[in-house]
Amino acid sequence: MVRLHNLLLTGLAPIAFATADNTTASFEERCRSLPASLKIPNANSTTAQFVAAGTTLTFPNADPSCGRASQNVTVDLCRVITQVATSARSGIKMEAWLPADWSGRFLSTGNGGLGGCIQFEDIQYAASLGFAAVGTNNGHDGSTGQSFLDNPDVIEDYAYRAVHTGVVIGKNISATFYGTQHKKSYYMGCSTGGRQGFKEAQSFAEDFDGIVAGAPAFSFNNLTSWSSYFYPLTGPPTADTFVPFEVWPVIAQDILRQCDHLDGAVDGILESPDLCDYDPSGLICGKGQNSSTCLTETQANTVRSIYSPLLDAEGSFVYPRMQPGGESTEAVFSMFNGQIFGSSDWWRYAIFNDSNWDPLTLKKEDFPLSSTLNLFNIDTWEGDLSAFRDRGGKLLHYHGQVDGIITSENSPRYYEHVSQTMDLAPKELDEFYRFFRISGMRHCSGGPGAHVIGNGGFSPAASLEPEENVLMAIVRWVINQRAPVLWHSNLILKEKLETVNPYSVSQKPTKINSVGGGDASDLRVTYKRWCIFQDTPISGKTLISIA
């Protein structure tokens, strides 16, 4: 057992955890008898079932809006389902998937949007890698915020309590089943899941040894102002302010024409969109021009507003702009489509608590209300991560640079906020917190860049090597103290470039100064897309991205 213990502390690959009887029959029997051994405070019901590898689970009682009707399971595991009250009128539904070949590791998954949807694909992904994996419904069912109406307790679950409760209970379930405590605990989530990861680091530092948080929805109150305001900004499709769908590809090409060269490589991807100060004036329609290829002056003003920071009625900063490049991904059909965006439910059911409120009436005068209320400190903007650092925690933060749902320009603000709050230089932050900007990546997955990084069930990497898999990268950082410097995506087939200026992939990122000079042509030719951590202040016009 001493040798096995050492392997669990130093190895990265899942290892079968030793038990008195590790046969399949014994595993099934222990699984079925588990509920009788569990002591879960406030649990309304708890069941357990053995699930054999190759089984396709179906979820007939799941809310259809979650879009998860089934999930294929690739390893033998024990599936535990429980419901736990968090107050007299709120509670969580959660699942724990306990693999037969347990690595001694625990992992919690997160959620997305305003939703109360267990992300089974992420639980399966983690369990397949040997983690005892848990997930909750975030305190309510379905992808909308309707459950927030007249119920602050449900809002509290959504803000922080559901994930933390699931972690505490999940660790108890895991320890009871395996007969021993986990060795290390991890978190993985994106979008709302990214915010939840940062909330854990800020408020529950002891919950996790390692956190992977992508495209985080922190600065939550102002984020919901920003994303909800696109509907009043563009208006419905009949409004003269609305930009038709067919014009957005023209705008996207104009943005590339103006800005693609700024990173030193004309390759169709903005490596550092923060350098792009887009001006749509050149697309304003001339006399007799086809309106599907140009903009009216009113529409051009809409575009200018989209690519400008959001200000309130007093002219105070609220939230960063949509970064150029977002128009080539989800933004056009999610944010600029002249329809109500899902975040409006936060205003309707949580802030105004009025099911009849019309999202088209959201005004700049309203923005301070949400940030002032800051219900249950949902903003998730605490800059002091010293408790997480001091307990040895490691935090890996990433954000796609063409994210069309949560602008990538908000993540650098938080990185700098932590640096200033803790009075730490980037090299000092590197010891526990690293931020990766992934060019060409959309919201959490997809896009023309290196997005296949093993950050969840929708985006499993082809390899478990830490250089190719962000989850394995955080495991290695926690266990072996080897911090990630770069990783690459199997999306790009490692084809060397001959005609495009390359970027450095040395162990320390190479800075390309796109304002005061800088030349990419003398950097050694390597693979096209590598993710490199940010290790200098973001402010100013510097590019430290990927190669």
Q: Is 191 a catalytic residue?
A: yes
CA 162/CA 137 separation, integer angstroms? 8
Structure tokens at 544: 């430290």
β-partners of residue 400 are 438
The secondary structure of 255-320 as a DSSP string is HHHHHGGGGT--SSS-S-GGG----GGGGB--TT--GGGSB-HHHHHHHHHHTS-EE-TTS-EEEP
- What is the token pair recorded at 414? 């938080």
Choose among 62, 61, 97, 93: nearest CA to 79. 97
Pairing of strands 530-534, 433-438: antiparallel
Per-residue pLDDT 10s for the chain (547 aa) are 333 223 223 344 433 443 435 567 799 999 999 999 999 999 999 999 999 999 999 999 999 999 999 999 999 999 999 999 999 999 999 999 999 999 999 999 999 999 999 999 999 999 999 999 999 999 999 999 999 999 999 999 999 999 999 999 999 999 999 999 999 999 999 999 999 999 999 999 999 999 999 999 999 999 999 999 999 999 999 999 999 999 999 999 999 999 999 988 898 988 889 999 999 999 999 988 888 999 999 999 999 999 999 999 999 999 999 999 999 888 999 999 999 999 999 999 999 999 999 999 999 999 999 999 999 999 999 999 999 999 999 999 999 999 999 999 999 999 999 999 999 999 999 999 999 999 899 999 988 887 888 999 877 676 888 988 999 999 999 999 999 987 665 443 333 223 222 222 222 233 322 222 223 332 222 222 334 443 333 333 222 222 2
Q: Is residue 72 part of a domain?
A: no
Enter the pTM of the model.
0.88
Is residue 38, in this structure, part of any structural domain at all? no
Report if residue 325 sits inside a domain: yes
| Rounded Cα–Cα distance for residues 452 and 43 (Å) | 38
Query: Residue 164: inside a domain, yes or no?
Result: no
Say if 373 falls within a structural domain.
Answer: yes
Token pair for 73 = 């399971």
Q: How many CB atoms lie within 10 A of CB 491?
A: 20
Question: How many CB atoms lie under 10 A from the CB of residue 27?
Answer: 21
Residue 126 CB partners (closer than 8 Å, separation 6+)? 97, 107, 109, 133, 188, 471
Q: Which of the following is catalytic: 443, 445, 459, 514?
A: 443
Residue numbers of the domain that contains 228: 222-377
In whole angstroms, what is the distance from residue 286 CA to residue 264 CA? 32
Q: Give the 3-state secondary structure of 150-200.
A: CCHHHHHHHHHHHHHHHHHHHHHHHHHHHCCCCCEEEEEEECHHHHHHHHH
Query: Which entry of 403, 411, 489, 504 is annotated as an active-site residue?
Result: 403
Assigned domain for 211 exists? no
- Distance (Å, whole) CA 433 – CA 430: 5
**277 catalytic, yes or no?**
no
Structure tokens at 469: 């898999």
pLDDT in tens, 378-437: 999 999 999 999 999 999 999 999 999 999 999 999 999 999 999 999 999 999 999 999
Residue 23 confidence (pLDDT):
67
- Confirm whether 463 is a catalytic residue: no
Residues 130 and 114: their CA atoms lie apart, in Å, by 29
Question: In this structure, is residue 358 part of a structural domain?
Answer: yes
Domains identified in the chain, total number = 1
Query: Phi then psi for 49, rounded to 5 degrees?
Result: -140, 145
Pick the catalytic residue from 191, 370, 408, 545.
191
Residue 199 lies in a domain: no
Each residue's pLDDT tens digit, 271-287: 889 999 999 999 999 98
